[in-house]
Amino acid sequence: MSDHVYNVLFLCTGNSARSILAEAMLAKDGKGRFQAFSAGSQPKPDVNPLALQVLRETDYPTEGMRSKSWDEFAAPGAPIMDFVFTVCDNAAGEVCPYWPGQPVTAHWGIEDPAAVEGSEMERKAAFVTAQRYLKNRISAFLALPMTSLDQVSLAARVREIGQQAGATSARPEVA
């Protein structure tokens, strides 16, 4: 087994909900095989409180979670990403920064739980649903035989993962 720790960046426009959920889940479920990051093209001032609540209630880490700009990860000295996943359709359609190292990219679009209006219970249910869809994708990603797949096969597999239940778009990513 390889000792390589893979760097994974989850992108969304606001970096306050879906990308935060994905970062926290991969950080824990990746058990040291993956270093998870998240960022947004237009980050919100704060992480959505319901994202943090759902993470805490499902025993995922929330300490240190903050909305951040994707510029942090395109700057000199930033970690080199092995994978970059967009989790919202808006971020997938934006012109992203140049990511050194030619990471494998894919679009894992999930409906925005922060856009749901209604009662507290309805809004929280949207976050729980988004977390479930992201958890399924992350579980499939963690099960990939990273060291035995060539770059082309790996790219195809992570794109297939993005088409699982709950996918918002079949269009190719542009990250």
Min mean pLDDT across 18-27, 87-96, 104-113 is at: 87-96
Mean pLDDT value of segment 80-88: 92
List, as one string, the DSSP characters of 67-81: --BGGGGTSTTSPPP
**Residue 1 pLDDT exceeds 50:** no
Which pLDDT value is given to residue 149? 86
Whether the Cβ atoms of residue 165 and residue 134 lie closer than 8 Å to each other: no
Higher-confidence residue: 9 or 169? 9
**Among the listed residues 82, 112, 117, 127, the one whose alpha carbon sits nearest the alpha carbon of residue 100:** 82
Q: Which amino acid is present at 125?
A: A
Structure tokens at 9: 């960046």
Task: Tell me which residue of 92, 41, 47, 90 sits closest to 66, measured CA to CA.
Answer: 47
C-alpha distances (whole Å) from 36 to each of 6, 24, 81, 171 are: 8, 7, 10, 24
Bridge-based pairing state of the strands 6-12 and 34-40: parallel
* Residue reference for tokens 């995922």: 60
Tens of pLDDT, residue by residue over 129-166, are 999 999 999 999 999 999 888 889 998 999 999 888 76
Reduced to 3 states (helix: H, G, I; strand: E, B; else coil), residue 174 is: coil
- pLDDT value at residue 90: 64
Query: Which candidate, 135, 154, 126, places its Cα nearest to that of 51?
Result: 126
Q: Catalytic residues, which ones?
A: 12, 88, 96
142 close to 42: Cβ distance less than 8 angstroms: no
Q: What is the pTM of this model?
A: 0.90
- The two structure tokens encoding residue 164: 């699982």
Please tell me the distance from the alpha carbon of residue 11 to that of residue 2, in angstroms, as a whole number: 26
- Which of 65-69, 70-74, 103-107, 169-173 is predicted with the least confidence, judged by mean pLDDT? 169-173
